[in-house]
Structure 1
Amino acid sequence: MVGSSRQKISLLFHRTRLKSRYIFSILVGLALGFALSLASVPLMGICDSSLSIPFSSSSDFSLHNGSFSLRDKFDPFRILNRQARSVADITLVDYGSKDYEPRIHPIQSAAIKPNNVNSKSAQVAAAAATTARPPPAPKIVRPRYIADELGIREKVLVAVLTETNHLNTFALFLNQTLQEHVNHLLFFIDAVVQDFPKGLQVVAIHDKRAYLKPFYVLKYLAEKLIKAYDWFLLVPDNTFIRGFKLHEFLSHISINQDLYMGQAFDDIHAVYCYFGSGIILSGTLLRKIYDELDWCTKNAYSQDLTDNIGRCVLKAAKLPCTNTASNYQFNAFVDYRFEFDTDIDKLAKSATFNQSLTVHPVQDLETMLKLQKYFNEVEINEMRQEITKYEETIESLSCYAPEGCGNIPWPPGAPAPFKPPTRFDVLRWDYFNETHIYLKTDSEVVDRLKQIDYEDVHEVIDHSVQQLQKKYGTDLQFKHLRNGYRQFDPTRGTHYILDLILIDKSSNEILKRAELMRPLGLVEIVPMPFVMETTKLFLILPIHSDEQSVALRFLSHANKTLFEHETSDKFELLLTHIVYTKQEYSQTQKWFEPLRSEINLIHQIRPKLTITYHTLLLPSTTIPHYSKPMYLLEFFQAKLRTNALIFITNPYVDIDSDFSSRCRLNIIENTQCFFPIAFYQYHPRIIARTHHLTDNSTIELHKFHGWFNSYAYDQIGLYMSDYLNLKKLISYHNISESSSNLYDLFIQLTDMHILRAPDQSLRVHYRPIQCDLTIQSSSIEYNRCLMQREKGLASRSQLAMIVIDNEPTKTKK
């Protein structure tokens, strides 16, 4: 037992000694590593920057004949006190893209020369002041737009040399086909012309010498437009230009170079670019040409524009013509014997012709149109081939995706379908046939397809039939559409499923299902004029003689909401008493007394609020309801300025406080009118049958309390100037004011945008609706009135409950 215990003790001592060795070796290693790292810090500092010495002030180095001596110890912690290098000391070089090399330009402050006689003392004093207090940083004035600061320019400007008699033919064609693809298009002629097609930008050159015309063009471009564009294309008007290919070609070429590009004249070794096929000049080259324009005009002894331009470029930049830049080639087709009808079949097989940017010369406008149609088909086929290639690539790469091979959304390249997070977000499908659409909204069972929907459906049907005929042969003919389904997905587009009935030669019916997707295009931001929330709003409130209590309720509610943030410089309420007889007109002051007392109480709380009183005498009691806003605007035409912002409503409405600001933003002068859809209350007694209704002064936004009445157009927001312009059009077209409402007249006679959407800030109390065909002469307005009376009573479920409750009573009787 003793021996065994000794062995255990010795073994334990041996293990402890081994552990102490390991720990000792680790500590020694850490100490050596720490010492070596501190020793190597100064050497790293020497390599890091040659502008600063990373040693302490007590260090002293001497280099004599290659010897190196250290007289004093250096401070290894000097690296902590090292000053950071300035950003201006760092040179950024981007070898991958030399065109956009970032540079930091230090601000140069102008030196101030002293005017004192004792200049040396002034300099010493200035130096002492400089060392004592740093000079203030100079004020940096930045441009208004970031594009000016960064030097961002447009892509290309096309300068066309044309003649006066070609403005309505060749020039008009080039303007219509190129304006969507180039940034600017100018037409230069040698005479002043007042009558030319709309949309053309024509520049007149007052010199009849044709051989000097290009130099006038170059001078005009260099003096006025050189800072705005990267590339300039000079071309005659009888040259066909492929605008889409031109923009695509120039997008791949570096802008930081002098470029004189085109097709060499006559010989591949020629140094001049042929003017007929088009000449591309870079902005940097145009600057050099501008400096030598005097020499160019004096030495323009040839009548050939190609020679004159080429000689000028050779003098200014010593550049020959080139047709290649950045590995992209400029292709032009030049053939003076070219005839489209006879040569196009042969040329269509040529890849060089299909890749041409320009075609010269074109003898007539008909050939221009044929070339445009041909190259459009070529570009469409190229796009289809690229789309097919991309689809194959997407399908092959889908095997590397987490979903696995083939599990990609259809069609390839489109975003995945929207996945609703809850059942309330499920996208609805619309069922349709060739003439009608079913269950488009919750309140409509069936409705005829509108013109835009009709064209959409039949375009989809025609495309489906064409694809089926390509696959199964042209013997199949379309008979009719059995079922059609449409779903709009805001993330990808409109999805269609069609069940088509086709017939073959034997008149046998064949059912085929087609699935189509109309993807969303590029999102475009529509520019709108600038509007402010500080514009003064004139709220016109027409009140009939029997609506005095309703107007008091309106004022009481508006005092809690609408009047809270409004002042006299931003808001004015125009109370307008509507009368039909002279007797009523004479009693209008007395009629306003209850309203005045209520307004006086409001003024005690809100003294900055402006409320005015007016009386409008209408000529007849048979004036329809939808025509009264025109009489109101005619009445206030002399009282308000032409740029007054107006909103017309009725006393039955409750307006929330946020509506006034939204009204100011939604109404844009000469651009947009505002016709909001208000929330109309159901009959209060019917609401009380199913829901507890304690106070009828407020309207709850609930489907059993009311509905958004899209058949009413009595909430109107517009500028007075827009109404005056509409009034001129009404008199010009000899339209009766009682035939339509303001909404329909703006739609029919103007091109203004109409903003119409539900607005929960407008809630209208229930009132009985009376429809009289003798007063409402328009059948459209009469039908709208009937729909309001039918749907404005209660919801279908509430009416059904009333019918069910009354059934036992009827059976007992």
Structure 2
Amino acid sequence: MAYFSYVYPKRQTFIQKINSGRKHHHVTPINRRLLQIICGFLAGLFIAYIILKYRRSFHSTCRRTPSIVQFKENVNHFDNSKSEDIAENDAKNITPIKKNIEQRKNINRSLLFVGVMTAQKYLETRAAAVYDTWGKEIPGKIAFFSSAISVKPINMPHLPLVPLKGVDDSYPPQKKSFLMLQYMWEHFGNKYEWFLRADDDVYIRADKIETFLRSINSSKPHFIGQAGRGNQEEFGLLSLEYDENFCMGGPGIILSRETLRKIAPHVKNCLQNLYTTHEDVELGRCVQRFARIPCTWSYEMQSIFYHNFSGNFAFTGNLKTKEVHRAITLHPIKQHKHMYRVHHYMQGLKIHDLQQRKISLYRDLRLMEELRRLHPEFSVNKDVLPADNYYSNLLREANLFGMQPDLNKYHPRNEDDVFSWDLISRSIYSNMNLNPRRKIEAYLKEGLDDVIREVMDNINLFSRERGRIIEFQQILYGYHRLNPLYGPDYILDVLLTFKKYRGKKMTVPVRRHAYLQQQFTGLEVREMFEGIERNTENLTENIFANTLKTYSTNTQSKNVYFHIAKSSPDDEIVENKISHKLINMVLPLSGKLEAFSRFMKNYEVVCLKQNENVLLFIVLFLKTNDDMVYDKTLAIINKIKSRYRTKKTIKIIPLEEKFARAKALNYGMKQVNENDLLFFIDVDMIWTTDTLRRIRLNTVLGKTIYFPIVFSEFDPTIVYHSHISPNHFLINEESGYWRIFGFGIMSSYKADISKVGGFNISITGWGKEDVDLFEKFVSSKNISILRSADPNLIHIFHIVDCDSSLDLNRLNMCHNTRTETYGNVYQLANLIYSIKTNIFQFARSKIHQANIINR
């Protein structure tokens, strides 16, 4: 119908001319109507033929050009040494490609001009943050407009600042806004297609805004932003007609060149006819008056130009939300430090997209290689491949990371190699965890949120064209497993809502099964030393080569181990610097002669015999030791001192007080300087030199506190039917457990402990002093906490004695710790089954006694 209505006026004119030339012939209305239809049909066929011919020629050109470009770019990338062997015709085709690349860069440079309104007091903070983050990624140019007296800050000499004559930093910035637009037109009007008016508290995603603007005809007048008519209090007071609106200034306003051309000559007129104090309202009125266009009436603009109504707390919390991911601009970011935080998050999303693109290319390469093997006649010309092993390495990587998504990638060899599935409902159920029913861990919940968000984005990718949208409601249930070689797998039963808003509107709940797989990429390693990142390029390549080697030699291996080699020749210098850093070890001691003897043997073997730079402070409580124990303790210390007379190895700090670990650690801390490294340890611990190296690496002055996760042994009488473990460094589910909630063993610099308030010396008896210090570090804004499992730091089993005089909370903590050290669930279950009669009788008797007491 649209086609015939378009050609109908011309066809009518053509028929009238025919009739005027044949006045003596009589044409009936039926014949005239038939003639109109025939003529219209023939004209339509002719126009359709022309359009079809043009489209065929256009698409054939588009199909040929990318393949040539891609081929030639690959030649240049892979093998520059063989460029002389390429045919002359091919060499000629390369030159235009380079020109096209330069042309595309020039196009990007001329796409968008961003004018940021700021003030002198924000140049060092907000303006600098904008320029350091998204300002450098804009596909065009950015400038900061401020008052006439504004000057560049000392820390930002390259900031593109434009002081506007006759403008101050008073609020509202109406004059600043209009004169900025006038300046943009006079100096850059013919150089850019689009112009963006922005505040200094907005974040703009450069890649998204480029894609968005490329989809719009810039030669037409456009006024783009989030449309507004004022809040409820202002409604009817902004002098707006019923069909007028304005673009809200906070999230940003985009004007096409044609729009700016129409309003720039009338800036003074607009300034002389202000009805309100709102700068964005007056700009909208000016555009409406002289460009004759309103702000974009589109509900979608609320998510594209996103304004968060949380004020100063906007974008300070979780950024993994659909609003943040969908938006092109984010407003407001009041604290300039959060601008860097948001930018880092967006950079992470870009890395994620690039990794996904890399996986897709690996899959394409693997598929092409499989097709090439099936059809050798289409083999790749060797002249276009690199001379080294780069291509062969790519193929090996593609074999590992380029496998198509499939839940059956991994084929276990036996029952022990099977990865079990965990059931996800309101809780998570697992047969491989000591707690079979537990809350969904934070990392898994975050992974599920990421997966669901990406799935819904893909489902709704073309929702606007189809006139429908599908919304996620909840996960009814699902299954999850983790393959350390390929990645996590999900089978989810999700509840969705289907909404159709075009045509016959409808809303229907639907259930769907989703089979999902997140592909792991190659390993990447970052190693820090004293807050400075080391060069780990060779280290990453070494690990990745070992990954491929392990995969190629045993593709069915469930457990994959990697050997980390040194990354550069400078590592030896760094290693020497690390090994010579002094560790001041503080040990609270009260009795426990047998454990102390074992501790000192380990200290001598690991620290003294291997010349480790370690100084041991023993805080010895005298009141809780009888004379015999005290004498034997001193004898052990003096014996070791006599062997190493030339070294300052051990210092004793005697205390005539009742045992209190917090006081002991506080006294030990007083023995060192502010910038000395401290390591707080217990007498039941043993360790190796690897632990000392981790302490030196992971503890950074003013930045990082290290709380290693200790491996604690189970009762050896249950595990080994012996009084002592045959191998203290054997780590598995049967020998012990990781003390995830233990914070007593830690390393820090004295200055950092002092900053957070130090130890609470009012805490006496067992426990809580470590949790109190840990919470202080958690509350600290400038110091981060590093927690990591240390397989070389072992807590030797001993029966935990719980003092009944402790408060109820600490007494429960003590009893729980004592219970955890007996054995794992399976060992305790087998113990109960072996003596089930006595256990059940004991349980029945206890229940009977409790019932009598309750009566």
Question: Please, what TM-score do these two structures have when normalized by structure 1?
Answer: 0.50
2:137 matches 1:181:
yes
Kindly provide the amino acid, as one letter, of the partner of residue 788 in structure 1: T
Of 540, 547, 560, the residue aligned with 2:605 is: 560
Kindly provide the amino acid, as one letter, of the partner of residue 752 in structure 2: D
Kindly provide the amino acid, as one letter, of the partner of residue 636 in structure 2: E
Shift in Å, 1:195 = 13
Deviations 1:274-298 (A, max 9, x none): 79969xxxxxxxxxxxxxxxxxxxx
Deviations 1:473-524 (A, max 9, x none): 9799877644312234556554321023569999999653112344568987
Q: Residue 540 of structure 1: SS of its match in structure 2?
A: strand
Shift in Å, 1:551 = 1.2
Determine the structure 2 residue equivalent to 1:442.
Answer: 433
Determine the structure 2 residue equivalent to 1:575.
Answer: 618
Instruction: Tell me how far apart the structure 2 counterparts of residues 698 and 391 of structure 1 sit (CA, whole Å).
Output: 45
Instruction: Tell me how far apart the structure 1 counterparts of residues 602 and 195 of structure 2 sit (CA, whole Å).
Output: 74
2:556 matches 1:547:
no
* Percent of aligned pairs with the same amino acid: 16
Determine the structure 2 residue equivalent to 1:763.
Answer: 794
Determine the structure 1 residue equivalent to 2:824.
Answer: 795
Kindly provide the amino acid, as one letter, of the partner of residue 532 in structure 1: I
Conserved 8 A contact 2:148-2:166: no
Determine the structure 2 residue equivalent to 1:497.
Answer: 491
Determine the structure 2 residue equivalent to 1:723.
Answer: 753
Deviations 1:762-791 (A, max 9, x none): 2222222245686356x5x66654442222
Deviations 1:154-174 (A, max 9, x none): x99999786637959995895
Kindly provide the amino acid, as one letter, of the partner of residue 134 in structure 2: L
Instruction: Tell me how far apart the structure 1 counterparts of residues 256 and 804 of structure 2 sit (CA, whole Å).
Output: 68
Instruction: Tell me how far apart the structure 1 counterparts of residues 777 and 410 of structure 2 sit (CA, whole Å).
Output: 40
Determine the structure 1 residue equivalent to 2:632.
Answer: 594
Conserved 8 A contact 1:333-1:360: no
Equivalences for 1:411-490 in 2 at 5 Å?
419=410, 426=417, 428=419, 430-439=421-430, 442-451=433-442, 453-454=444-445, 456-457=447-448, 460=451, 481-489=475-483
Conserved 8 A contact 2:669-2:678: no
Change (3 A) 1:428 1:195: farther
Instruction: Tell me how far apart the structure 1 counterparts of residues 755 and 159 of structure 2 sit (CA, whole Å).
Output: 34
Determine the structure 2 residue equivalent to 1:649.
Answer: 681
Shift in Å, 1:671 = 2.1
Change (3 A) 1:776 1:674: farther
Q: Which is worse superposed, 157-166 or 642-651?
A: 157-166
Deviations 1:5-39 (A, max 9, x none): xxxxxxxxxxxxxxxxxxxxxxxxxxxxxxxxxxx
Instruction: Tell me how far apart the structure 2 counterparts of residues 656 and 679 of structure 1 sit (CA, whole Å).
Output: 13
2:719 matches 1:687:
yes
Equivalences for 1:381-400 in 2 at 5 Å?
400=371
Instruction: Tell me how far apart the structure 1 counterparts of residues 578 and 115 of structure 2 sit (CA, whole Å).
Output: 43
Shift in Å, 1:753 = 3.3
Kindly provide the amino acid, as one letter, of the partner of residue 557 in structure 1: N
Conserved 8 A contact 1:563-1:657: no
Kindly provide the amino acid, as one letter, of the partner of residue 715 in structure 1: I
Conserved 8 A contact 2:488-2:517: yes
Of 578, 582, 588, the residue aligned with 1:532 is: 578
Equivalences for 1:271-290 in 2 at 5 Å?
273=191
Q: Which is worse superposed, 409-418 or 747-756?
A: 409-418
Shift in Å, 1:711 = 3.2
Instruction: Tell me how far apart the structure 1 counterparts of residues 445 and 215 of structure 2 sit (CA, whole Å).
Output: 45
Equivalences for 1:263-412 in 2 at 5 Å?
273=191, 338=223, 340=225, 364=280, 373=304, 400=371
Conserved 8 A contact 2:143-2:162: no
Query: Could you say what the CA RMSD is over the residues aligned between the two structures, in angstroms?
Result: 6.6
Equivalences for 1:137-156 in 2 at 5 Å?
none
Q: How many residues align?
A: 536
Change (3 A) 1:240 1:332: farther
User: For the pair shown, which has the larger CA radius of gyration, 1 or 2?
Assistant: 1
Shift in Å, 1:749 = 3.6
Shift in Å, 1:577 = 1.2
Equivalences for 1:106-125 in 2 at 5 Å?
none
Determine the structure 1 residue equivalent to 2:764.
Answer: none
Of 695, 712, 736, the residue aligned with 1:663 is: 695
Determine the structure 1 residue equivalent to 2:667.
Answer: 635
Shift in Å, 1:179 = 4.5
Shift in Å, 1:718 = 1.3
Of 737, 754, 757, the residue aligned with 1:707 is: 737
Kindly provide the amino acid, as one letter, of the partner of residue 578 in structure 1: F
2:653 matches 1:614:
yes
Conserved 8 A contact 1:171-1:237: no
Deviations 1:104-153 (A, max 9, x none): xxxxxxxxxxxxxxxxxxxxxxxxxxxxxxxxxxxxxxxxxxxxxxxxxx
2:709 matches 1:677:
yes
Kindly provide the amino acid, as one letter, of the partner of residue 552 in structure 1: S
Question: Please, what TM-score do these two structures have when normalized by structure 2?
Answer: 0.48
Instruction: Tell me how far apart the structure 1 counterparts of residues 165 and 507 of structure 2 sit (CA, whole Å).
Output: 73
Change (3 A) 1:336 1:752: same
Change (3 A) 1:613 1:178: same
Shift in Å, 1:716 = 1.1
Conserved 8 A contact 1:414-1:492: no
Conserved 8 A contact 2:193-2:256: no
Equivalences for 1:62-101 in 2 at 5 Å?
none
Shift in Å, 1:742 = 2.6
Of 777, 793, 814, the residue aligned with 1:746 is: 777
Instruction: Tell me how far apart the structure 2 counterparts of residues 441 and 338 of structure 1 sit (CA, whole Å).
Output: 59
Q: Residue 532 of structure 1: SS of its match in structure 2?
A: helix
Q: Residue 711 of structure 1: SS of its match in structure 2?
A: coil
Conserved 8 A contact 2:423-2:430: no
Change (3 A) 1:642 1:749: same
Conserved 8 A contact 1:416-1:492: no
Shift in Å, 1:726 = 1.4
Determine the structure 1 residue equivalent to 2:64.
Answer: none
Kindly provide the amino acid, as one letter, of the partner of residue 794 in structure 1: G
2:144 matches 1:164:
no
Instruction: Tell me how far apart the structure 2 counterparts of residues 518 and 164 of structure 1 sit (CA, whole Å).
Output: 46
Instruction: Tell me how far apart the structure 2 counterparts of residues 431 and 202 of structure 1 sit (CA, whole Å).
Output: 55
Shift in Å, 1:668 = 1.6
Shift in Å, 1:651 = 0.9
Shift in Å, 1:552 = 2.0
Conserved 8 A contact 1:417-1:492: no
Shift in Å, 1:792 = 0.7
Shift in Å, 1:566 = 2.8
Shift in Å, 1:633 = 4.1
Q: Residue 776 of structure 2: SS of its match in structure 1?
A: helix
Change (3 A) 1:411 1:609: same
Deviations 1:597-626 (A, max 9, x none): 3233323433325100013455x66x6xxx
Shift in Å, 1:208 = 8.5
Conserved 8 A contact 2:712-2:821: yes
